C-alpha cells in the first residue's frame, strides 16, 4: 500500500477482554515496529520484526502482550485480559529494512484503545 | 540504555517568528542517528529532519534546522518563519544503527496567529 495502514482506528473494549490490533506495512518494507503512546507521553517501544528473524520482544510490558507477523507482511498485536492501564494509542511503523531504518520510519495513524 | 530528554513540555510562538525546541540524549555510542518527528492531531508521526552523528554539518530542511552538539549530546530543532500548520507535538528520537528508535516525551508547540 501507499502508507502504513492500521485498524481499527479506534477501539473501546471492556476490562478483561482480549483485543487484536492490525498493522499493514508499506509493501516491500521488511522491518516493522510497534510503539505505545500513553496520554501525554512519548512513544514506548514494544516490539520489532525484521524479515524472518526472531522478533525483538524486549519492550513488551507483560506476558499479556504478544505480536506476530505473518508472511513477513501484516502484523497483529494482541493484548489479552485488557486492563485500564492498557488504554493508549498503539502506533505501528515500517522501514525498508535493517539498514534503511537509519533513514527513519514511516508511521501509521495508530489505534486508540480505550479500556472501560 | 539510551535516554532522550525533552525539557520543554509546552511552547508557543507567534506566527512568522522563530522557535527552538530542546533535546538532550545520553549514550556511550559514537555512531548513531537523531531525528525530529512532528505529530499533528491526526496522530500520524511525520519525519521532520534527520542527523547522522558522524556528520558535523547541521541538517536543514527548508524552515527546519538543527543545532547538533555531539560533545554536549544536544540536538535542538529550530523552526523559522513559524506557520499555523506547525502546531503539533514534536518528538526527538535517537537510534543506534539497525536498532529500534527511542523517543523523548515530546514538546507541544502552539503557533499563535
Per CB-CB distance under 8 Å, the chain B contacts of A112 are 43
Instruction: Identify the DSSP state of B58.
Output: P
Residues of A within 8 A of B33 (CB-CB) are 102
Nearest CA in chain A to B90: A42
* Alpha carbon distance A20, A61 (integer Å): 16
If one compares B96 and B46, the residue with the highest pLDDT of the two is: B46
Mean pLDDT for A40-52 is 88
| CA B92 to each of CA B26, B44, B49, B71, B84: distance values in angstroms, whole numbers, following the listed order | 13, 15, 10, 18, 21
The answer to whether residue A1 scores a pLDDT higher than 60 is no
Size of interface A-B (CB pairs under 8 A): 54
Please indicate whether residue B11 or residue B42 has the higher confidence score (pLDDT).
Answer: B11
Q: Which residues in chain A touch residue B42, judged by CB atoms under 8 angstroms apart?
A: 109
Is residue A101's pLDDT more than 70?
no
**CB distance B44–A110 less than 8 Å?**
yes
CA distances from B48 to B32, B34, B86 (A): 17, 11, 11
Q: DSSP secondary-structure letter at B1?
A: -
**pLDDT band (50, 70, 90) for residue B42:** confident
Question: How is residue A71 written as a grid cell?
Answer: 508472511
Match 528508535 to its residue by C-alpha cell. B101
Q: What is the pLDDT, as a whole number, of residue A98?
A: 62
Contact B96, B103 (CB under 8 A): no
Residue B1: the pLDDT is 61
Checking DSSP bridges between strand B46-52 and strand B107-112, what pairing results, if any? unpaired
Provide the pLDDT for residue B45: 92
Q: Given a cut of 70, is residue B2 above it in pLDDT? A: no
Amino acid at each position: 500500500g501507499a502508507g502504513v495502514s492500521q485498524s481499527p482506528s479506534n477501539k473501546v473494549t471492556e476490562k478483561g477482554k482480549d483485543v487484536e490490533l492490525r498493522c499493514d506495512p508499506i509493501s516491500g518494507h521488511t522491518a516493522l515496529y510497534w510503539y505505545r503512546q500513553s496520554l501525554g507521553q512519548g512513544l514506548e517501544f514494544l516490539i520489532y520484526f525484521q524479515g524472518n528473524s526472531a522478533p525483538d520482544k524486549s519492550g513488551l510490558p507483560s506476558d499479556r502482550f504478544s505480536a506476530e507477523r505473518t508472511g513477513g507482511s501484516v502484523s497483529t498485536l494482541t493484548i489479552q485480559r485488557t486492563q485500564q492501564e492498557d488504554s493508549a494509542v498503539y502506533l505501528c511503523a515500517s522501514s525498508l529494512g535493517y539498514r534503511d531504518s537509519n533513514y527513519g520510519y514511516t508511521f501509521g495513524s495508530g489505534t486508540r484503545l480505550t479500556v472501560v | 540504555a539510551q535516554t532522550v530528554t525533552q525539557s520543554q513540555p509546552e511552547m508557543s510562538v507567534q506566527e512568522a517568528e522563530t522557535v527552538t525546541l530542546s533535546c538532550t540524549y545520553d549514550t556511550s555510542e559514537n555512531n548513531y542517528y537523531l531525528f525530529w518527528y512532528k505529530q499533528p492531531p491526526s496522530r500520524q508521526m511525520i519525519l521532520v529532519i534527520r542527523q547522522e552523528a558522524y556528520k558535523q554539518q547541521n541538517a536543514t530542511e527548508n524552515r527546519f534546522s538543527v543545532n547538533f552538539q555531539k560533545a554536549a549530546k544536544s540536538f535542538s530543532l529550530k523552526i523559522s518563519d513559524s506557520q499555523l500548520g506547525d502546531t503539533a507535538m514534536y518528538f526527538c528520537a535517537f537510534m543506534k544503527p539497525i536498532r529500534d528508535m527511542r523517543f523523548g516525551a515530546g514538546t507541544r508547540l502552539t503557533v499563535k496567529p
